[in-house]
Structure 1
Amino acid sequence: MLVKDLLKGSKITLTSFKDTHLPSLEKWYNDIYFLRNFDMIPAFPKNAQELSSAVNDTRRSSDKCIFAINYTEDEKIIGITGFENILWNNGTATVYIGIGEKKYRGCGVGSESLYLTMEFGFEELNLHRIQLTVISYNKPAIGLYEKLGFKKEGTYRQFIYRDGIRYDMYLYGILRSEWETNIKGGTISK
């Protein structure tokens, strides 16, 4: 029986999040650009101890999982991805992704990372639906999500307040049947 490596792509590998990754995560949580695109909460810098507590909460949780995104060539952590709000009885989850290392943004690793996360969600966790939210000003992320088959399902009007301006937040989702159709049809790939 051939078993495919659900967590390995051509450029990146998803691994467990290790304590040795905390310094990188702390650096990203002190990068305002990263924070304002990764999360909806105020962009408060966080130290390694605060982040360690959050990561440990995720590890102990039954409705969340976290992966480190490692660049295969040098095995360096460059981002994080995973699921939260997993509703096992409904087969639904919210996916997240953040490329923390600036030099890896916009070069395809986000696409490969999210693809692998989605593949893991549909094929290993047996999810029926994966969803996400994105702020309307994050055009690169919106392009990525649509490229991977997510459909815009709704708008939370004027949801985010940043720098004196209100921005919409969009809800995107993809169903397992859409994922499978896209894979078979060749419209998305690693």
Structure 2
Amino acid sequence: MKINENTLLEGHQVVLVPYNAEHVPRYHEWMKSSELQQLTASEPLSLEQEYDMQRSWREDNDKCTFIILDKQRWADSSLEEEQCMVGDVNIFLTDPTDLSLAEIEIMIAEPSYRGKGIGKEVTCMMICYGVTKLNIKKFQAKIGLDNQVSINMFKKLHFQEVSVCNVFKEVTLELTVDESVQTKLLDNMAYTKEKDYRHTCSHRQEMVSQ
């Protein structure tokens, strides 16, 4: 989606930025990991295919993705964005007849960043974005049965288990965002700041050149 191509979201621990071409080489290196391939049910791609995938996430109207950056490292203007990358988070619309339904995926690719509450913060930030910018009313998460950490995280965020597919070895969890859920979520995430990505990048570059 192009809706977020100039959007930066700043939380307590992370900064979410659009998935751009300069992020692809680091992302490509991540996806060589057999562990990440298994966790994300992905096949390894060539670098050229990865660039094609990045363009599709930017252009297609049914996909929205952000790259997750370590906020502390990102605050160091001497570091390039790709040096601050820790994972990604995606929303995609799975039913053309129901644009209020979306699947959400999150990947913390850097092992040293797992177990620190980053996944929970990023997921809440992305749900808020989906609710307020894309009018999403129901979120689904499809998670491998052996990924108990992710299953537990989504359940703590009040996702309910709705089905288990033994063929694909995954569980589907759902969160319906009614008015009370939306109010509580937005209140809890009120600290999140939305900024202009282009302006922020220009400011970081100016700081480097000074």
TM-score bracket, normalised by the shorter chain, equals 0.7 to 0.9
The 4+ residue runs of structure 1 with deviation greater than 6 A are: none
Q: Which moved more, 1:49-58 or 1:82-91?
A: 82-91
CA shift, 1:60, in A, is 1.2
Partner of 2:24: 22
Give the direction of change, closer, same or farther, for the CA distance of 1:13–1:142 in structure 2 (3 Å limit): same
What are structure 1's unaligned runs of at least 5 residues?
Answer: 161-167
C-alpha distance in 2, partners of 1:85/1:50?
Answer: 22
Q: Which amino acid aligns with 1:45?
A: P
Partner of 1:54: 53
Confirm whether residue 80 of structure 1 aligns to residue 88 of structure 2.
Answer: yes
Q: Which amino acid aligns with 1:62?
A: N
C-alpha distance in 1, partners of 2:70/2:186?
Answer: 27
C-alpha distance in 2, partners of 1:65/1:185?
Answer: 23
What are structure 2's unaligned runs of at least 5 residues?
Answer: 1-6, 75-83, 193-210
CA shift, 1:106, in A, is 1.4
Partner of 1:136: 145
CA shift, 1:124, in A, is 1.7
CA shift, 1:179, in A, is 3.0
RMSD of equivalent CA atoms: 2.3
Partner of 1:123: 132
Aligned length in residues: 173
Does the CA contact (< 8 Å) of 2:124 and 2:185 recur in 1? no
Q: 2:33 aligns with which of 19, 31, 39?
A: 31
Give the direction of change, closer, same or farther, for the CA distance of 1:176–1:24 in structure 2 (3 Å limit): same
CA shift, 1:35, in A, is 1.4
Which structure features the higher share of helix residues? 2
What is the percent sequence identity of the aligned residues? 20
Give the direction of change, closer, same or farther, for the CA distance of 1:171–1:182 in structure 2 (3 Å limit): farther
Q: Which amino acid aligns with 1:56?
A: R
Does the CA contact (< 8 Å) of 1:7 and 1:117 recur in 2? no
Does the CA contact (< 8 Å) of 2:164 and 2:170 recur in 1? yes
Give the direction of change, closer, same or farther, for the CA distance of 1:6–1:21 in structure 2 (3 Å limit): closer
C-alpha distance in 2, partners of 1:182/1:38?
Answer: 29
Deviations 1:124-155 (A, max 9, x none): 21111111101111010001111111111111
Give the direction of change, closer, same or farther, for the CA distance of 1:185–1:57 in structure 2 (3 Å limit): closer
Give the direction of change, closer, same or farther, for the CA distance of 1:8–1:87 in structure 2 (3 Å limit): farther
Confirm whether residue 114 of structure 1 aligns to residue 115 of structure 2.
Answer: no
Which structure features the higher share of strand residues? 1
Higher relative contact order (CA 8 A, sep 6+): 2
